[in-house]
Amino acid sequence: MSEDAPELAVGADAFVEQGAGHAVAVVGAGAVGATAAYDLARQGADVTLYERGTVANESSGRAAGVCYDAFAGPIDAEIASDAIERFRALSGDETFPFTECPYVWLAREGDDRRADAIRGQLERMHAQGVVALEMTADELAERFPALRTDDVAVAGVAGGAGYTDPGQYTACLAAAATGAGATLETETPVSLEIDPARIVRDDGTTETYDAVLVTAGAHTKRLLADAGISIALKPYRVQALVASCDHPEPMCYDATGGFYLRPHPEGLLAGNGTEEWEADPDEYDRAANDGFADDLLERVRHRLPDAADIDLERAWAGLCTATPDRDPLVGQLEEGLYVATGFQGHGFMRAPAIGQRIADQILGGEGIDAFDPTRFDGDEEFDVVEGMGVTDD
């Protein structure tokens, strides 16, 4: 292990060298790719992690860092729970921070559709063993006095939650992957060839692998298209900001107001600003829209009425990825070719579990049937739908 690589030895005794002699390329050093590279290398695979820029250069570096297990579907709940446990286990003073913090999601009076959806979600979460409480406005006010609650119809509160710095997490896992034997090649744009799976560098040199995993976020669709493979994926633009103020617990998603917020070392982080149309991952505007910050901070002040002097520090835009059914594409596309993308804004918070599962699948384990990327033909027409939301399905 290199001197700079963090030691992430959690559960190492349970691993066998399933990947010995198995050459794997991972394309994209975001949170999912770095995690998968780490788990592959821990199991003995010969891993090369390619990144056209720097680690966490794109969506992972622009993510909110909100993490929670408040999912109602069986596989989503399982993955989210595993991810939270792994954030807890791997975090530390010498790796990355993970701050435990309750997650609240709420609907306002008069928003009956979302209020009913939250109640339905909570019932299904309880059936999956997710620890989450339903609270009235008065109960919420007593538990979280920083929040305005007089307009709240119903709220859910999940204790399996927290926040972290996405860039630090991703850099830590990439460094740990190299410490476990992986090779990291940054500033290295590549393209793909299949049958057999090959990586092609810009200078024309190629490397053949037993498996190639594409975790290139919003760039995944174009990268695969250049290799002749279509996937049902659309990148879309989201916005966020950091503001200075005193913001204690909790993390909060105001479903009616259409925004989220969480504590941040500089005060608070808030966002959404989802644009429900496809964005160009090479040409999108990385700066926030004019007026975005003023509008969002007005909504934040409504929910945090006692927070004094909320002043904008910075605002930005990033990309998320959508699929027709709002579930991600994770698994094998073709012989030797795998993908992990389409997370509807939930990719970072599930990265510890998704990275581990796709690594296991590449080395002969089972995939996630519900997320099988071949369930679509790749030419489906569909609308971009905001990833963070409440539904009654």
CATH classification of the domain holding 221? 3.50.50.60
Task: Report the number of distinct structural domains present in the chain.
Answer: 2
**What pLDDT score was predicted for residue 306?**
86
161's enclosing H/E stretch is: strand 161-164
Cα–Cα distance, 249 to 244 (Å, whole number): 15
Domain co-membership, 240 together with 217: no
Could you tell me if 240 and 294 lie in one domain? yes
Examine the domain organization and report whether 114 and 253 are in the same domain. yes
> Which pair of tokens denotes residue 118?
């939250």
CA distance 388 to 114: 13
**Is residue 384 assigned to a domain?**
no
Q: 249 and 369: one domain?
A: no
Say yes or no: 228 and 248 in one domain: no
In-domain check, residue 90: no
Residue 138 shares a structural domain with residue 149: yes
Q: What is the pLDDT of residue 21?
A: 78
**Listed residue (63, 64, 60) closest to 252, CA to CA:** 64
Tell me, rounded to whole angstroms, the distance of Cα 131 from its chain centroid.
Answer: 21
In a domain, 75, yes or no: no
82 inside domain: no
Q: What is the 3-class SS of 192-261, one letter each residue?
A: EECCCCEEEECCCCEEECCEEEECCHHHHHHHHHCCCCCCCCEEEEEEEEEEECCCCCCEEEECCCCEEE
- Token output for 371: 């997320």
Q: What was the pLDDT predicted at 6?
A: 57
Q: Are residues 134 and 274 in the same domain?
A: yes
Is there a single domain that holds both residue 26 and residue 145? no
Q: Are residues 225 and 262 in the same domain?
A: no
Which domain range does residue 149 map to? 99-159+234-322
Can you list the pairs that 375-382 forms with residues at least 24 positions away whose Cβ atoms lie under 8 Å?
376/231, 376/232, 376/323, 376/324, 376/329, 377/230, 377/232, 378/229, 378/230, 378/231, 378/232, 379/230, 379/232, 380/232, 380/324, 382/232, 382/234, 382/322, 382/323, 382/324
- 282 domain residue, yes or no: yes
What CATH number does residue 105 fall under? 3.30.9.10
Query: 257 and 312, same structural domain?
Result: yes
Assess if residue 385 is contained within a domain. no
pLDDT of residue 16: 46
Rounded to the nearest 5°, which phi and psi values hold at 322? Answer: -115, 155
Note the pLDDT of residue 29: 97
Whether 152 maps to a domain, the answer reads yes
> Could you give the CA distance from residue 229 to residue 223 in angstroms, rounded to a whole number?
9
Angle between helices 31-42 and 347-362 (to 10 degrees): 30
pLDDT of residue 273: 81
Please list the ranges in the chain whose pLDDT falls under 70: 1-19, 388-393
Asked if 174 and 220 sit in the same domain, the reply is yes
Q: What is the model's pLDDT at position 84?
A: 98
Shared domain check, 313 and 328: no
